[in-house]
């Protein structure tokens, strides 16, 4: 007999199935793609900050490499470009301050844009919870969404920063920068930029993701006036 | 009638909200039973506590006192994860403003509910396509909600509500944002789901068209059950329903 018991215990109700990361990724990726304009604006902050950082770091290593060559005509060009060829290090505190400030601005920018998008989507989050989404799914999908924007923004920023740095160096010093390009230093510069960009986007995505998950499903029922 | 025949039992439920100093009694000791497989309409003016009662049945809100049982399970005894399971497998929600995810196609909107039930994405999409076919939208699978009409959006929402084969459809003013004709089509579709799938339908409404489809009507006023009537007991005359003048 398959008759349900008269007084079922709550233990008979199973726990909800947790959505794996891979499925959450598919859902978020589709969202980012369809909201591409909105995502691009969020990404722009990261792109600019990481482009600036990459540009500074690459320019730094290129100039170092050119100074080390110690060629007469090149030294002339370097001095014309305002480089102090006799000082050992060119990283001054103003440059560092500028980079740090731009990174903080970028961090605040992503958090702000993500919080906005959570507010816009309160009803959507409520609806998903009515359909059986767990808080953990909401956290995952928002975390993936802002990380995706962060990673793509970082990648784009690195490419832009690198290209601009090489272009400007070529304009100043002709064929020298590409002929004597400091591959090792540039690679570690790119590594630093990638690390900072990814760290930044992860830090920026934690708060909005948890804020989104705290929204109540009853919000979905509310009718917009 | 056996206890078992009641899919929803609301027992002495009260809900008190605090708004600053004053206490708002949204529901006062309300009790009602919904029989498995019936089409139930909850009528009441806005502010009557209708929506609060509705949210309680969906496990979206918790009573201050009293209890709500779905299929014999006391909702207040369930963990958040079990509640999510109940919402996913036992209840299909239909909203007044459709509440489709704007960035997902019709197919994806329905498939996501299936994915929450633990079905692999490929199978979820097949089930979703089949269900959309069933509500007459087989030709709109890859359209975004913004590319179809209001009535079609509500059809997608109904497909999403039934894709996990729930025992209850909770529909809050499902025709509220639709014109007369489309509203009627949606009511018929919901009635069809009751007839073919045996799903219990609970709607909150003040749409008189809903009454003719209902097996039972509950009238809520001031947080209390004012009266209930079964089909056939409701006298419909021109301009009035059961002696009540239409506003």
φ/ψ bin of B147: left (φ > 0), alpha (ψ from -120 to 50), beta (otherwise): alpha
Exposure string over B72-97, b if 16+ CB within 10 A, otherwise e: bbbbeebeebbbbbbbbbbbbbbbbb
Q: Under 8 Å CB-to-CB from B200, ≥6 apart: which residues?
A: B7, B8, B34, B35, B36, B37, B38, B39, B40, B167, B168, B169, B194
Q: Which one, of B55, B118, B66, lies nearest residue A14 by Cα?
A: B118
Alpha helix segments (H runs only) across chain A: 21-34, 36-69, 72-80, 93-120, 122-130, 135-173, 176-179, 183-213
Res B47: pLDDT: 82
For B139-151, what is the HEC assignment? CCCCCCHHHCCHH
Q: Which is nearest to A181 in space by CA: A56, A50, A54, A64?
A: A64
In a domain, B216, yes or no: no
Q: CB contact, 8 Å: A224 with chain B?
A: yes
Using CA coordinates, name the residue in chain A closest to B88: A132
Distance CA B110, CA A127 (A): 12
**What's the CA gap between B155 and B208, in Å, rounded?**
20
Q: What is the pLDDT of residues A79-100, one digit of tens each?
A: 888 787 776 555 678 888 888 8
Asked if A130's CB is within 8 angstroms of B73's CB, the reply is no
**B121–chain A nearest CA distance, Å:** 8
Q: Is B227 part of a structural domain of the chain? A: no
Count how many Cα atoms sit within 13 Å of the Cα of residue A159 in the half-sphere of its side chain.
5
| Least reliable range by pLDDT among A130-139, B53-62, B237-246 | B237-246
Q: How far apart are CA B141 and CA A115, in angstroms?
A: 32
Cβ B59 vs Cβ B53: under 8 Å = no
Hey, which residues 189-228 in chain B have their CB within 8 Å of chain A? none
Beta bridge partners of B32: B10
**What does the DSSP 8-state code read for residue B148?**
S
Whether residue A73 is predicted with pLDDT greater than 90 in this model: the reply is no
Stronger pLDDT, A201 or B39, i.e. the higher one: B39
Where along chain A do its domains lie?
Answer: 23-218
Residue whose entry in the numeric block shows the structure tokens 């018991």 = A5
> Mean pLDDT of all residues in chain B?
89
Q: Calculate how close chain B gets to A198, using CA atoms only, in Å.
A: 26
Rounded CA separation B16/A166 (Å): 68
What letter would DSSP give residue A175?
Answer: T
Which residues are registered as beta bridge partners of A88? none
Q: Give pLDDT, residue B191.
A: 92
Hunting for tokens 């030709």 — which residue is that? B139
Angstrom distance (rounded) from CA A64 to CA A173: 13
CB pairs under 8 A between A and B: 115
Which residue from B34, B52, B78, B75 is spatially nearest to B199, judged by alpha carbons?
B34
| Substitution target from A28, A127, A220 for chain B, most B beta carbons within 10 A | A127
Which residue matches tokens 């209390």?
A: B224
Is there a contact between A13 and B84 if contact means CB atoms under 8 Å apart?
no
Tracing tokens 């978020």 back to the chain, one arrives at A28
The shortest CB-CB distance from B84 to any of A23, A132, A224 is to A132
Contact status, residue A85 vs residue A67, Cβ threshold 8 Å: yes
Per the structure, how many domains does chain B have? 1
Residue B71 lies in a domain: no
Report the Cα A225 to chain-centroid distance in Å.
Answer: 36
Between B186 and A114, the more confident residue is: B186
A36 or B69, which is more confident: B69
Q: Is B98 on the interface with A (CB under 8 A)?
A: no
Alpha-carbon gap, residue A49 to A182, rounded angstroms: 23
CA angle B90, B44, B183 (to 5 degrees): 65
Q: What are phi and psi of B246, to 5 degrees?
A: -75, 135
Look at residue B142 and tell me if it is in a domain: yes
Longest dimension (CA), chain A: 98
A145/A90 Cα distance (integer angstroms): 38
d(CA A6, CA B139): 45
Average pLDDT of span A165-182? 90
Q: What is the pLDDT of residue B235?
A: 62
Contact A132 B88 (CB under 8 A): yes
Strands B224-230 and B236-237, sheet pairing: unpaired
B202 in any annotated domain: no
Q: Which residues contact B158 (CB under 8 A, 6 or more apart)?
A: B92, B94, B135, B169, B186, B189, B190, B193
Residue A7 has pLDDT above 90, yes or no: no
On the question of pLDDT at B56 being above 80, the answer is yes
Range of the structural domain that residue B104 is part of: 100-165
Would you call B240 exposed, middle or buried from its count of C-beta atoms within 10 A (0-12, 13-18, 19+)? exposed
Contact B26, B49 (CB under 8 A): yes
Confidence class of residue A168 from pLDDT cuts 50, 70 and 90?
very high
**Residues B132, B96: contact at Cβ < 8 Å?**
no
Cβ–Cβ contact B240 with A under 8 A: no
Residue A136's closest chain B neighbor by CA? B81
- Confidence category of residue B245, pLDDT binned at 50, 70, 90: low
Residue B87 touches partner A, C-beta closer than 8 Å? yes
pLDDT at residue number A9 = 57
B164 touches B89 (CB < 8 A): yes
């Amino acid at each position: 007999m398959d008759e349900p018991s008269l007084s079922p215990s709550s233990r008979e109700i199973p726990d909800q199935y947790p959505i794996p990361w891979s499925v959450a990724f598919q859902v978020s990726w589709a969202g980012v793609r369809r909201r591409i304009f909105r995502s691009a604006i969020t990404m722009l902050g990261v792109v600019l900050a990481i482009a600036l950082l990459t540009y500074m770091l690459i320019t730094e290593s290129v100039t170092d490499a050119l100074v080390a060559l110690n060629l007469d005509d090149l030294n002339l060009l370097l001095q014309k470009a305002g480089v102090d060829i006799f000082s050992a290090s060119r990283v001054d505190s103003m440059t560092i301050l500028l980079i740090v400030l731009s990174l903080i601005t970028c961090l605040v920018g992503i958090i702000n844009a993500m919080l906005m998008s959570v507010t816009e989507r309160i009803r959507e989050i409520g609806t998903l919870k009515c359909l059986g989404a767990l808080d953990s799914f909401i956290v995952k999908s928002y975390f993936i969404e802002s990380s995706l924007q962060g990673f793509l923004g970082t990648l784009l920023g690195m490419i832009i920063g690198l290209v601009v740095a090489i272009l400007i160096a070529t304009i100043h010093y002709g064929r020298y920068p590409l002929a004597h390009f400091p591959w090792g230093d540039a690679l570690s510069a790119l590594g630093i930029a990638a690390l900072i960009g990814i760290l930044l986007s992860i830090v920026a995505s934690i708060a909005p993701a948890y804020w989104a998950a705290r929204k109540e499903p009853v919000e979905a029922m509310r009718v917009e006036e | 009638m056996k206890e078992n025949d009641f899919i929803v039992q609301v027992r002495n439920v009260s809900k008190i909200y605090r708004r600053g100093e004053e206490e708002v009694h949204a529901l006062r000791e309300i009790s009602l039973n919904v029989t498995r497989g019936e089409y139930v309409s909850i009528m009441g003016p806005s502010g009557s506590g209708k929506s609060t009662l509705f949210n309680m049945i969906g496990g979206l809100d918790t009573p201050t006192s009293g209890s709500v049982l779905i299929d014999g399970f006391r909702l207040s005894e369930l963990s958040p994860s079990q509640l999510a399971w109940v919402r996913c497998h036992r209840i299909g929600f239909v909203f007044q403003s459709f509440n489709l995810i704007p960035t997902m196609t019709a197919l994806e909107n329905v498939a996501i509910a299936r994915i929450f039930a633990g079905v692999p994405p490929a199978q979820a999409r097949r089930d979703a396509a089949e269900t959309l076919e069933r509500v007459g939208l087989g030709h709109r699978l890859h359209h975004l909600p913004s590319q179809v009409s209001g009535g079609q959006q509500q059809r997608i929402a109904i497909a999403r509500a039934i894709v996990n084969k729930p025992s209850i459809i909770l529909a809050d003013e499902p025709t509220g944002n639709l014109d007369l004709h489309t509203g009627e089509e949606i009511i018929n579709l919901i009635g069809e789901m009751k007839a073919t799938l045996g799903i219990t339908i609970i709607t909150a409404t003040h749409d008189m068209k809903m009454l003719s489809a209902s097996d039972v009507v509950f009238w809520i006023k001031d947080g209390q059950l004012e009266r209930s009537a079964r089909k056939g007991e409701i006298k419909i005359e021109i301009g009035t329903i059961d002696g009540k003048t239409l506003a």
